[in-house]
């Protein structure tokens, strides 16, 4: 790992750079097989746990409450809301 002293277009905002990690991500982007790609992302996560790019000081917990009539809702770990396929079931 090394710190970059430059900034500008294409630079990482934190000035942190890890060539091994960047190479792993780049190689993973060309893997077409879903299962192999997921295995590779798991390896990337393990690598980042062992050599974290930041000192994570805070972790928010998201709580989701859904009525049983809501259909098609699935929470995302990044807290984005994708509601295109969400609807309300008729009452029984």
The whole-model pTM stands at 0.47
Contact call for residues 1 and 18 (beta carbons, < 8 A): yes
Instruction: Give pLDDT tens digits for 31-79.
Output: 999 999 999 999 999 998 898 877 777 766 767 777 889 898 888 777 7
Contact call for residues 43 and 24 (beta carbons, < 8 A): yes
Q: Which residue has the tokens 């192999």?
A: 36
């Amino acid at each position: 790992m090394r710190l970059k002293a430059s900034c500008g277009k294409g630079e990482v905002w934190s000035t942190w750079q890890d060539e091994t990690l960047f190479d792993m991500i780049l190689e993973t982007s060309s893997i077409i097989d879903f299962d192999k790609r997921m295995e590779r992302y798991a390896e990337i996560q393990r690598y980042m746990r062992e050599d974290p790019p930041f000192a994570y000081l805070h972790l928010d917990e998201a709580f989701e409450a859904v009525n049983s009539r809501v259909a098609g809702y699935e929470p995302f770990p990044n807290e984005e809301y994708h509601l295109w396929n969400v609807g309300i079931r008729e009452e029984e």
